[in-house]
Amino acid sequence: MQLLPRSLSPVRTLFAVFAALTLGASASTAAATPIPQAPQDLVPNPAGAYCSVDLSNQKTACFTTEQDLVSYGSTLASVPLVSVYNWINYGQGGGYTIYFGDHACTATTNDLEYGLPGLTHPYASNNPSGILENNTYSSVSTYTAQSCDIKLFDGANYTGASSEWIDRCTHLGGSGTGDCPSANWYDRASSFQLS
């Protein structure tokens, strides 16, 4: 078989078709929105002090390093709402929990977006880490982009005394400075609401 100039052999034509199909598949794959996945080596540890709680589905996960918590949080479809710390000044060395939700808060505190009636997290199937935070908060910080404020309650189920609405507070000891409450809420909260 003799080929004329600029003509393609049947084999070359077949390769061209395969190449076009492969490029088309690659382009459609690239155009699809990727679903975030947790890194393969990221394994929750029930004894970890860096935790995530999704208030939309009560799913929890704890990790032994802050880096693992941040990596895990980046894979969630939910948005971060508030971080609660065991140490003052947002001290990360004592461990902390980031609370997530499926939507941000409104700009006012007239309507409640989320609530956690007890800081013992009794969601056995979704709380393999057994997170217990009752009477442990020393500082709190909400995420500005989500417009949330937090109100702490002395008792479970939003009972007993309550704090003012707090955006951020470096020490819940009752200084009243900045956005900190005037009453002492250091290691006192048993439930909270977000608005």
Query: Which tokens sit at 175?
Result: 């200084």
- Going by pLDDT thresholds of 50, 70 and 90, the confidence category of residue 90 is very high
90 to each of 87, 97, 123, 168, how far by Cα in Å? 6, 11, 26, 10
- What's residue 134's pLDDT? 86
Q: Residue 14 — φ and ψ, nearest 5°?
A: -65, -45
User: Which range has the worst mean pLDDT, 80-89, 96-105, 123-132, 168-177?
Assistant: 123-132
pLDDT greater at residue 54 or residue 47: 54
| Cβ-based neighbour number of residue 176 at 10 Å | 12
- Express each pLDDT in 105-152 by its tens digit: 998 999 999 999 988 765 444 455 566 788 889 999 999 889 999 999
Instruction: Dump the DSSP string for 92-105.
Output: GGG-EEEEEESSPP
Rounded to the nearest integer, the mean pLDDT of the chain is: 79
- What's residue 129's pLDDT? 54
- What's residue 130's pLDDT? 60
Q: Residue 191 — φ and ψ, nearest 5°?
A: -160, 165
- Express each pLDDT in 21-35 by its tens digit: 333 443 433 444 444
d(CA 89, CA 69): 19
Q: What is the mean pLDDT of residues 1-14?
A: 37
- What's residue 40's pLDDT? 55
Q: Are 192 and 143 in contact (CB under 8 A)?
A: no
State pTM to two decimals: 0.75
- Going by pLDDT thresholds of 50, 70 and 90, the confidence category of residue 169 is very high
DSSP tag of 122: -
- At a CB cut-off of 8 Å and minimum separation 6, what does 58 contact? 121, 123, 126, 127
| Cβ-based neighbour number of residue 177 at 10 Å | 10
